[in-house]
Amino acid sequence: MILDADRLQAVILIDEAVLSGAAKYKACAELGITIRTYQRWMSAGVIKSDGRPDSVRPIPKNKLTAGERKRLVDTMNSEAYKSLPASQMVPSLADEGIYLASESTCYRVLHEEKLQHRRGRGQSNDKKVATTHSANGPNQLWSWDITWLPGPAKGFHFYLYLILDVFSRKIVGWEIHDEESAAHAATLIRRTHLREDIRDNPLILHSDNGSPMKGASMLETLYQLGVATSFSRPRVSNDNAYSESIFKTCKYRPDYPYKGFFNIAEARDWVLKFTHWYNVNHKHSGLKFVTPHQRHAGLAKDVLAKRKDVYQQAKLRNPERWSGQTRNWELVDKVHLNPARDRIEIEGVK
């Protein structure tokens, strides 16, 4: 914004240059303005002041009232939601029949109140690769892997064996041992297969190329159970993305003892609690923020239908706050996993 005194001085200099034979547009350019700006300043032959500072701006109809904003901030700072991002809080409130504001409004208010920042030691999520295997229900496609859990001393680890249902993201089986072994993996898959009551239903088990995944006892167990094997491509680290994702969620929990577990019993106790939280309480961003248990048990559609109704009622109360449709709470019926990406891209098939 140019002050009135500076405008007056600029007009005087431009007029003097024009009287001396200079082109008006070139004189304006020397002062860093366009001739259109000069003409606007000199409307009706007098220098007009900048009206922007004193202009009266209408209050947006969809703006939160002071009371609504305070209620929203108090809710975001409450014990139940202070450690959750808006993407987790908004669906949780909708499940309780409460709508305060849209997710984007929550983030805007968080920014304005200096409350928005990345929590914990987490970083941005990596994009997942395209896939070839797919599942349209639970217990059709599992992903499993082994990760290290820190022990009581540097260089000493416990090994977490974990099986994840790709469709529901539910942890269907896990064990912790003090060594990597195909025999331990075989025992885990047999127990999980029995507990999930799969029987003769077709199942694909995806993993990377580690020795426990391809050990003789593991492969023999899978053959006896009728489970099809699927392996990551050699030297491709992100082909087992679902397992890597659950391990990151595990190790970036606020209470994760990254300095080490005192013994294997302590590690098992912590993972047991984590598994319950993840399956029953954690609203998964890849599942439209329903829990893995709700998806696995077939409850997700009812939960999302209720949320949709909450949003529709909120739109009816304040239609001016919605420029289009309400939030999409439709959850896809098919989930994909790609262990190989095979020849689709190579052959140019779309």
Among the candidates 238, 259, 287, a domain finishes at: 287
For residue range 141-167, list pLDDT tens digits in order: 999 999 999 999 988 999 999 999 999
Residues 148 and 213 in one domain: yes
Whether residue 231 is found in the same domain as residue 90 = no
**Please, which residues have CB within 8 angstroms of residue 121's CB and are 6 or more apart in sequence?**
252
Within-domain flag for 329: no
In this structure, the answer to whether residues 278 and 158 fall within a common structural domain is yes
Residues 211 and 180 occupy one common structural domain: yes
Do the domain assignments include residue 140?
yes
Q: Looking at the structure, do residues 221 and 250 belong to the same domain, yes or no? A: yes
Residue ranges for the chain with pLDDT beneath 50:
120, 126-131, 339-340, 342-350
pLDDT of 268: 97
Look at residue 321 and tell me if it is in a domain.
no
Counting the structural domains of the chain, the total is: 3
Q: Do residues 178 and 74 both lie within one domain?
A: no
Structure tokens at 337: 């996993």
The answer to whether residue 38 sits within a structural domain is: yes
Tally of helices (H runs) and strands (E runs) in the chain: 13, 7
- Say if 277 falls within a structural domain: yes
**pLDDT (0 to 100) of residue 129:** 45
Q: Is residue 300 part of a domain?
A: no
Q: Are residues 150 and 279 in the same domain?
A: yes
Q: Which residues pair with 207 in a beta bridge?
A: 231
Residue 340 confidence (pLDDT): 45
Same domain, 169 and 263: yes
Pair (170, 207) in one structural domain: yes
Residue at a domain's end among 287, 312, 329:
287
Same domain, 201 and 269: yes
Residue 181: inside a domain: yes
Tokens standing for residue 263 = 């013994």
Residues 157 and 201 in one domain: yes
End-to-end CA distance of the chain: 53
Give the domain range for residue 247.
Answer: 133-287
